[in-house]
C-alpha cells in the first residue's frame, strides 16, 4: 500500500499510509481505538475506496471496486464479528457465494475442506452446524472460508478479542503454519503481548498516520506503547481537590461470566469516595460496560459485593436500588439505544426514570414538562421545543438531554460511559465542567473514558482495566500517558 | 448513466407519512380501476355505486356498521400488540376462543338474567382470548420464540377446537343430526340501540379508553417504551417480560371480546365461520391507521364499507365479490409498499458521481 489516504467528512482517517507485507511473514498493525486501523483494512478488503494512493498485490497495481475484486486478488478478511450463517453447516458457509455451478459434489467438497484443514492444522468438522460451535471453531470456519477461496494474504481483525487463552494459542499455531506455507498474515490488534509473541514486523498507527515500522526482534513493549500513545497533553481542565473523604461506593471481588462462558469481569475491587471523579481506563471491551451495568443493577449474572453507602446492592434490580433511596444515575455508552427512547420527545424521555412513583394509573406529564423546560434552559439545549423527538436533535444536544435528566434526579452517584464521544470540543468542555460542578456538590462519579489525556486531566484516580482484570489503580496527577497506555495494553504497573 | 440511491431517513413527519399513505390508497383505486375496466365496466360508476352500496340507505349503513364493529375492536387489540412490536397474527384464534368462552357461559347459564349473563359472557371471552394471546407472549418473553409463527399456529388449534365443539359435545341434539350449535336464548343476546346491537357503543367506549390508556397512563407509557427500545426499558427498570405478557393478554382479550359481540349480537350462535376473516383484515386496518385508536375507527368503517359494497356490486354489476377483495389486496399492497418511501429517501445520482463515491 502506497500513500493511502481516506477521509470522512473532513476527518482524515488515514493520512499517506504506506507499508508492505511480504509473503511468509506475520505482520502486525498496531494502534489505539480510532488510530485508523479499521479504515485501512476496509480499504484493503475493498469496502472503502481510498481518496488517493495505490495498492499493489504481487507487484501489480490493483483497483478494488468492491470486496469481490479484493477476494479475487487473494486477500482474505477475517472480521472480528463473524459473518457466518448460524443454521448452516461449516461446509455450506464455506461455499456460500462461490460460483460452483448448480450441482454440488459434496464428497469432493468435503475432501477439499479436510485437505485444507489438515494442511494448516485445523480441527473442523465440515458437517457441524455453526450454532453448535464454540467461538474458536467459528473463527476456524471463517479462516477456512478465505483459504478455500485460495487467499494467500490473510487479514485478521482483533482475532483474539473473543477467544480464550487456549483458543488463542491454537490460533497462533495455525497462523504460524500459514506463514510456513508462504501466506502473508496481517494481524490487527492492540494486544502488545501477542504482537511480541507472534509477529515478524510491526507498523504502528496513530491518528491515521504511520508512526514507524519496526522489526519485532528489535523492539519492546515499552517502546511500542510510547509510539502508540504519543505525548501527554495538558488540556487545562480544572481539577478540584476532593472535599469529602467518605467512601460512597465500594466494590468487592466483583466477577461476571457472560452467556458464552467468557469472563467479563475478573475479581474487581475498588472504592470511590464522594466528591471524587474515579476514572476507568481500558481498551474498548475490557469490561467497562459490564462494570457500569453491574453497579446500576441491570446486569444480573454477577458475583461479589457492591456496597453503596454501606448497603449491598449487588442482588437488587435497578428499581429496588432506586426505591431504597439510593440515587445512582447512569449515562450509558449507547445514548439512543439505551439511555433514551429515540422517537419520543424530551418530556417523555425526562419522565422515564421516576414516572412509576406517581400515584394512580394515570401519567401526569406536567411536572416533567416543567423539568424539561428547566433542563433545556440550563444546559442550553438547542431544540424547537420540549415536544420534539430526541432523535432529531444533534449528538451534543441528545447527550445534554440525557445528562440533564440524570443530574436532575439529584443523584448521590453518577456513572458516565464515554459521555463526550462524538461531541465537539465545546460541548465536551461543557460536559467536563458540569461533571466538575457535580463533583463539588459531593457526588461520587465513575468516569469511563477513552481519551487518555481527558482521563489524566479530569479524574482524581484512574483504575485501569484489561480483559476484565484490574491492572492497577493510580493517582491521575502522578501519571503519564505512556504509563497508562502500557497498563491498558496489559502491562503490570 | 444514472443510478438510484437509497438512504434511510428518520425525518419523515407524521403529515408527510399520512400524505404518502393516502396517495398509496388512491393509487390502489386507480389500478383497480384498470382492472374493473378490463372486466368491461365503467370504473367510475362501479365506484360510485360502491359508495351507494355501503351508505346508500339506512339499512346499508347499519350493515356497514355491524361489519365494522368486530373489526374496530379486533384492530384495537392488534394495535396494542403492534405497539410492542409483537406481531400478533393470532387475532383470528383469539376471536374464536373469546367466542367459545362467551358461548360456554351462554349455554350453561340459561336461567340467568341478561344483565348478569352478558357481563359474564364478556368476561369469559376476554379471559379466553387473553390466555390464548398470553401463551405465545409467555414463550416469546421467556424463550424468545417467534411470535408470528406461534400466534398463527394457535389460530389453527382454536379452529380445530371449535370444529370439535360444533361437531361433538356442543352439537345441538334438536338439529336433526345437522352439526350446529344451539341458538342463544334471549338472555344471551346483546340488546339493540337505534336498530344496531350495542356493540357499537362498546366500540366507541373502547376507542376512548384505548386512546387514553396508550397516551395517558403509566402502563401505556411503559408499552411505548418497551415497543420502541427494549434496552432502554430495561435501563429504566421496566419489567420487560411482564409488560409483554400483560399487554398481549389485553390484546388477545380485546380480540376475544370481539368474538363475544359477534356470537351474541350478530350470529346469535357459535359456528366455525364466526370470525369472517376479521382477525386477518384487522391486521391491515390497524397497520393502516398507524396504530392510533381514533384513526382505527375511521379506517375500519371504510374497510367494512368496502366489504359491504363488494356484496352490492356483485348484484348490481354481476361482478364477482372477489373484485372487491382484489381492491382490498391492492390497498394493502400499495400501503405496505409506501412504507418504503416513509423509511427511505430515493434520489438520482449520475454515473460520474458514482465513480467518485
Using the beta-carbon criterion (under 8 Å), do A355 and B228 form an inter-chain contact? no
Chain A residues in contact with B216 by the CB 8 A cut-off are 362-363
Domain count, chain B: 1
Chain A residues bordering chain B (beta-carbon distance below 8 Å): 49, 296-298, 317-319, 322, 330, 332, 334, 337-344, 348, 351-353, 355-356, 358, 361-363, 391-392
**B217 contacts in A (CB within 8 Å)?**
361-363
Contacts of A362 in chain B (CB under 8 A): 216-218
Q: What is the ipTM of this complex?
A: 0.75
- Looking at residue B251, what is its pLDDT? 93
Name every chain B residue with its beta carbon within 8 A of the beta carbon of A354.
none
Q: What is the pLDDT of residues A153-205, one digit of tens each?
A: 888 887 876 676 677 888 888 888 888 888 888 888 777 778 888 888 888 88
Flag if A334 and B217 touch (Cβ within 8 Å).
no
Q: Which residue of B has its CA nearest to A339?
A: B232
At residue B248, the pLDDT reads 93
d(CA A147, CA A118): 12
A447: distance to nearest CA of chain B, Å?
A: 18
Structural domain contains residue B9: no
Q: How far apart are CA B185 and CA B118, in angstroms?
A: 12
Is A101 buried (19+), middle (13-18) or exposed (0-12) by CB count in 10 A?
exposed
Query: Does any domain span residue B205?
Result: yes
Q: CA–CA distance from A111 to each of A92, A114, A117, A130, A357 (Å)?
A: 14, 5, 10, 19, 65
Residue A38 has pLDDT above 50, yes or no: yes
The answer to whether the Cβ–Cβ distance between A319 and B231 falls below 8 Å is: no
- Helix (H) / strand (E) element for A229: namely helix A221-229
Torsion of CA B188, B304, B321, B52, to 10 degrees: 110
Strand, helix or coil at A308?
strand
Give the burial class of B341: count Cβ atoms within 10 A of its Cβ; 0-12 exposed, 13-18 middle, 19 or more buried: middle
Strands A153-157 and A184-189: parallel
Confidence at residue A491, expressed as pLDDT on a 0 to 100 scale: 64
pLDDT tens digits, A272-303: 888 888 999 887 778 888 888 888 888 877 78
Q: Would you state the pLDDT for residue B274?
A: 83
Quick one: pLDDT at residue A344?
A: 86
What digits encode the pLDDT tens for the residues A419-462?
A: 887 676 667 778 888 888 888 888 889 999 877 778 888 888 88
Pick the residue of A333, A341, A365, A369 with the most B CBs within 10 A to test the interface with B by mutation. Answer: A341
Could you give the strand order of the β-sheet that contains A153-157, starting from the edge strand earlier in sequence? A75-78, A153-157, A184-189, A25-31, A201-206, A209-215
Nearest to B113 by CA among B182, B181, B186, B183: B186
pLDDT tens digits, A114-167: 888 877 777 777 788 887 777 778 888 888 888 888 788 888 887 876 676 677
- Which position has the grid cell 470456519? A141
pLDDT score recorded for residue A101: 64
CB-CB under 8 Å, B228 with A343: yes
- pLDDT attached to residue A3: 55
Residue of A nearest to B231 (CA): A338
Backbone φ and ψ for A31, nearest 5 degrees, come out as 180, 160
Q: Strand, helix or coil at A18?
A: coil
Q: Is residue B343 part of a domain?
A: no
A127 to chain B, closest Cα gap in Å: 26
Chain A positions touching B11 (Cβ under 8 A) are 392
Tell me which residue in B218, B219, B235 faces A298 most closely, judged by beta carbons: B235
Question: A-chain residues within 8 Å CB-CB of B220?
Answer: 363
Chain A residues within an 8 Å CB radius of B227: none
Q: Which residue of B has its CA nearest to A322?
A: B237
Q: Between chains, do A338 and B231 touch, taking CB under 8 Å as contact? A: yes
Asked if the structure places residue B17 within a domain, the reply is: no
Set out the domains of chain A in order of their start, with CATH numbers. Answer: 2-229 (3.40.50.300), 247-488 (3.40.50.300)
Mean pLDDT of A316-327: 82
Collect all residues of chain A within an 8 Å Cβ-Cβ radius of residue B237.
Answer: 297, 317-319, 322, 353, 356
pLDDT tens profile A381-433: 878 888 888 887 777 788 888 888 888 888 888 899 888 876 766 677 788 88
- Dist. CA A388–CA A211, nearest whole Å: 46
pLDDT at B356: 44
The verdict on a CB contact (< 8 Å) between B235 and A341 is: no
Show the cell assigned to B57. Answer: 340507505
Residue in chain A closest to B209 (alpha carbons) equals A362
Q: Is residue B273 part of a domain?
A: yes
Indicate whether B78 belongs to any domain.
yes
Measuring CA to CA, which residue among A85, A87, A82, A62 is closest to residue A4?
A62
Is B237 in Cβ contact with A344 (below 8 Å)? no
Contact B228 A339 (CB under 8 A): no
Whether the CB-CB separation of B9 and B341 falls below 8 Å is answered with no
Task: Give yes or no for residue A231 having a pLDDT over 50.
Answer: yes
In total, chain A counts a number of residues equal to 493
Name which of A298, A343, A363 is nearest B234 (Cβ-Cβ): A298
What pLDDT, on the 0 to 100 scale, is given for residue B252? 93
CA B116 to chain centre: 28
DSSP structure string for A384-445: S-TTSBGGGS-HHHHHHHHHHHHHHT--SEEEEESTTTT--HHHHHHHHHHHHHHHHTT-EE
Cross-chain Cβ contact A344/B224 below 8 Å: yes
Distance to chain A for B51, nearest Cα, Å: 38
How close is the nearest chain B Cα to the Cα of A36, in Å? 20
In B, which residues are within 8 Å of A334 by CB distance?
Answer: 231
pLDDT above 90 covers a percentage of chain A that reads 0
Chain B residue with minimal CA distance to A8?
A: B357
Phi and psi at A386, nearest 5°, equal -75, -10
Inspect the interface and report whether the beta carbons of A339 and B219 lie closer than 8 Å. no
Query: Which residue in B9, B209, B222, B237 has the most chain A C-beta atoms within 10 A of its own C-beta, making it the best mutation to test that interface?
Result: B237
Among B221, B228, B231, select the one facing A355 at the smallest CB separation: B221
Q: Could you tell me which chain B residue has the CA closest to the CA of A65? A: B355
Q: Given a cut of 50, is residue A333 above it in pLDDT?
A: yes
Which residue in the block uniquely carries the three cell numbers 478465505? A146
> Residue A197 corresponds to which cell in the numbers above?
509473541
Whether B228 is covered by a domain: the verdict is: yes
Helix axes of A135-148 and A165-180: crossing angle, nearest 10 degrees:
20
- Give the residues of chain B that fall short of pLDDT 50: 1, 351-357
Distance from CA of A331 to the nearest CA of B (A): 10
Provide the pLDDT for residue A10.
Answer: 52
**B237–A318: do the CB atoms touch at under 8 Å?**
yes
Quote the cell numbers at residue A273.
Answer: 469516595
Residues in chain B with CB shorter than 8 Å from the CB of A342 are 228-229
Question: Average pLDDT, stretch A211-225?
Answer: 79
Identity of the residue in A297, A334, A352 whose CB atom sits nearest the CB atom of B225: A352
Alpha-carbon gap: A90 to the closest alpha carbon of chain B (Å): 25
Tens-place pLDDT, residues B182-207:
888 788 787 788 878 888 889 999 99
**Closest chain A C-alpha to B268 CA, distance in angstroms:** 36
Interchain proximity B232–A322, CB inside 8 Å:
no
- Which residues of chain B approach chain A closer than 8 Å at the C-beta? 10-11, 216-222, 224-225, 228-229, 231-232, 234-237, 357
Average of per-residue pLDDT across A226-234: 67
Within-domain flag for B272: yes
B237/A361 Cβ within 8 A: no
Position B353 scores a pLDDT of 45
Name the residue among B11, B221, B237 with its Cβ closest to that of A319. Answer: B237
**Which residues from B are below 8 Å from A340, CB to CB?**
232
Q: Do residue B228 and residue A392 have CB atoms under 8 angstroms apart?
A: no
Among A332, A341, A358, whose Cβ lies nearest the Cβ of B225?
A341
Write down the mean pLDDT value for chain A.
Answer: 80
Whether B229 sits inside 8 A of A341 (CB atoms) is yes
A47 Cα to chain B: minimum distance (Å) = 12
Mean pLDDT of the A13-20 span: 75
Size of interface A-B (CB pairs under 8 A): 63
pLDDT in tens, A64-114: 777 777 777 788 888 777 778 878 888 888 877 766 666 677 777 788 888
Q: What is the domain extent for residue B204?
A: 70-295
The reported pLDDT for the residue numbered B9 is 66
How close A7 comes to chain B (CA, Å)? 12
Q: pLDDT grade, residue A244 (50/70/90)?
A: low
Amino acid at each position: 500500500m502506497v500513500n493511502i489516504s481516506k477521509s470522512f467528512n473532513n476527518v482524515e482517517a488515514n493520512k499517506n499510509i504506506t507499508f508492505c507485507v511480504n509473503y511468509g511473514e506475520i505482520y502486525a498493525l498496531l494502534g489505539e481505538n480510532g488510530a485508523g486501523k479499521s479504515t485501512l483494512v476496509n480499504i484493503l478488503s475493498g469496502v472503502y475506496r481510498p481518496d488517493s494512493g495505490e495498492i499493489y498485490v504481487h507487484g501489480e497495481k490493483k483497483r478494488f471496486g468492491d470486496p469481490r475484486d479484493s477476494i479475487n486478488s487473494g486477500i482474505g478478511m477475517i472480521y472480528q464479528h463473524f459473518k457466518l450463517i448460524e443454521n448452516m453447516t461449516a461446509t455450506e458457509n464455506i461455499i456460500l457465494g462461490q460460483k460452483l455451478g448448480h450441482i454440488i459434489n459434496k464428497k469432493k467438497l468435503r475432501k477439499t475442506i479436510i485437505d485444507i484443514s489438515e494442511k494448516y492444522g485445523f480441527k473442523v468438522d465440515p458437517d457441524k452446524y455453526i450454532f453448535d460451535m464454540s467461538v474458536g471453531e467459528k473463527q476456524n470456519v471463517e479462516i477456512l472460508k478465505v483459504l478455500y477461496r485460495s487467499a494467500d494474504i490473510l487479514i485478521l481483525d482483533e482475532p483474539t478479542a473473543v477467544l480464550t487463552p487456549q483458543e488463542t494459542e491454537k490460533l497462533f499455531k495455525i497462523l504460524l503454519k500459514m506463514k510456513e506455507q508462504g501466506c502473508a498474515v496481517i494481524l490487527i490488534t492492540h494486544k502488545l503481548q501477542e504482537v511480541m509473541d507472534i509477529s515478524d514486523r510491526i507498523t504502528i498507527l496513530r491518528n491515521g498516520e504511520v508512526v514507524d515500522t519496526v522489526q519485532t526482534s528489535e523492539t519492546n513493549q515499552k517502546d511500542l506503547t510510547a509510539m502508540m500513545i504519543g505525548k501527554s497533553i495538558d488540556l487545562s481542565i480544572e481539577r478540584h481537590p476532593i472535599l469529602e473523604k467518605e467512601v460512597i461506593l465500594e466494590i468487592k471481588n466483583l466477577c461476571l461470566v457472560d452467556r458464552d462462558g467468557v469472563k467479563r469481569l475478573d475479581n474487581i475491587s475498588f472504592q470511590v469516595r464522594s466528591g471524587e471523579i474515579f476514572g476507568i481506563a481500558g481498551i474498548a471491551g475490557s469490561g467497562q460496560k459490564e462494570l457500569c451495568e453491574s453497579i446500576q443493577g441491570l446486569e444480573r449474572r454477577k458475583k461479589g459485593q457492591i456496597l453503596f453507602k454501606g448497603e449491598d446492592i449487588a442482588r437488587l434490580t435497578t428499581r429496588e436500588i432506586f426505591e431504597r433511596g439510593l440515587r445512582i444515575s447512569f449515562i450509558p455508552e449507547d445514548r439512543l439505544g439505551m439511555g433514551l427512547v429515540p422517537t419520543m420527545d424530551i418530556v417523555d424521555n425526562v419522565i422515564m426514570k421516576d414516572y412509576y412513583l406517581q400515584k394512580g394509573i394515570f401519567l401526569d406529564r406536567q411536572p416533567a414538562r416543567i423539568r424539561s423546560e428547566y433542563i433545556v434552559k440550563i444546559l442550553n439545549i438547542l431544540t424547537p421545543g420540549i415536544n420534539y423527538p430526541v432523535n432529531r436533535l444533534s449528538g451534543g444536544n441528545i447527550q445534554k438531554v440525557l445528562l440533564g435528566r440524570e443530574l436532575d434526579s439529584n443523584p448521590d452517584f453518577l456513572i458516565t460511559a464515554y459521555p463526550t464521544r462524538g461531541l465537539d470540543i465545546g460541548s465536551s468542555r461543557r460536559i467536563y465542567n458540569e461533571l466538575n460542578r457535580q463533583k463539588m456538590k459531593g457526588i461520587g462519579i465513575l468516569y469511563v473514558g477513552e481519551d487518555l489525556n481527558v482521563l489524566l486531566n479530569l479524574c482524581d484516580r484512574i483504575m485501569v482495566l484489561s480483559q476484565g482484570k484490574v491492572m492497577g489503580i493510580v493517582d491521575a496527577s502522578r501519571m503519564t500517558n505512556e504509563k497508562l497506555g502500557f497498563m491498558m495494553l496489559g502491562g503490570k504497573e | 448513466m444514472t443510478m438510484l440511491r437509497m438512504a434511510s431517513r428518520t425525518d419523515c413527519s407524521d403529515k408527510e407519512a399520512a400524505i404518502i399513505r393516502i396517495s398509496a390508497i388512491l393509487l390502489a383505486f386507480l389500478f383497480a380501476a384498470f382492472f374493473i375496466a378490463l372486466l368491461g365496466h365503467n370504473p367510475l360508476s362501479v365506484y360510485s355505486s360502491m359508495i351507494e352500496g355501503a351508505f346508500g340507505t339506512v339499512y346499508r349503513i347499519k350493515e356497514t356498521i355491524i361489519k365494522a364493529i368486530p373489526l374496530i375492536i379486533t384492530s384495537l387489540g392488534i394495535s396494542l400488540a403492534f405497539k410492542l412490536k409483537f406481531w400478533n397474527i393470532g387475532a383470528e384464534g383469539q376471536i374464536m376462543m373469546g367466542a367459545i368462552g362467551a358461548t360456554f357461559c351462554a349455554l350453561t347459564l340459561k336461567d340467568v338474567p341478561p344483565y348478569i349473563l352478558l357481563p359474564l359472557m364478556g368476561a369469559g371471552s376476554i379471559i379466553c382470548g387473553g390466555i390464548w394471546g398470553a401463551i405465545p407472549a409467555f414463550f416469546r418473553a421467556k424463550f424468545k420464540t417467534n411470535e408470528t409463527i406461534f400466534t398463527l399456529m394457535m389460530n389453527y388449534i382454536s379452529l380445530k377446537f371449535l370444529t370439535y365443539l360444533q361437531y361433538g359435545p356442543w352439537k345441538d341434539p334438536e338439529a336433526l343430526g345437522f352439526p350446529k350449535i344451539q341458538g342463544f336464548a334471549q338472555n344471551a343476546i346483546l340488546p339493540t340501540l337505534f336498530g344496531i346491537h350495542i356493540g357499537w357503543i362498546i366500540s366507541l367506549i373502547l376507542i376512548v379508553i384505548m386512546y387514553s390508556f396508550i397516551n395517558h397512563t403509566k402502563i401505556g407509557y411503559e408499552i411505548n417504551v418497551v415497543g420502541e427500545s427494549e434496552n432502554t426499558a430495561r435501563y429504566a427498570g421496566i419489567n420487560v417480560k411482564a409488560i409483554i405478557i400483560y399487554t398481549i393478554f389485553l390484546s388477545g382479550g380485546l380480540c376475544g371480546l370481539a368474538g363475544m359481540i359477534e356470537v351474541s349480537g350478530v350470529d346469535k350462535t357459535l359456528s366455525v365461520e364466526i370470525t369472517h376473516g376479521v382477525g386477518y383484515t384487522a391486521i391491515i386496518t390497524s397497520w393502516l391507521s398507524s396504530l392510533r385508536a381514533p384513526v382505527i375507527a375511521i379506517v375500519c368503517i371504510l374497510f367494512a364499507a368496502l366489504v359491504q359494497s363488494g356484496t352490492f356490486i356483485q348484484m348490481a354489476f354481476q361482478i364477482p365479490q372477489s373484485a372487491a377483495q382484489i381492491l382490498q389486496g391492492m390497498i394493502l399492497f400499495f400501503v405496505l409498499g409506501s412504507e418504503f418511501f416513509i423509511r427511505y429517501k430515493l434520489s438520482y445520482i449520475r454515473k460520474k458521481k458514482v465513480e467518485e463515491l
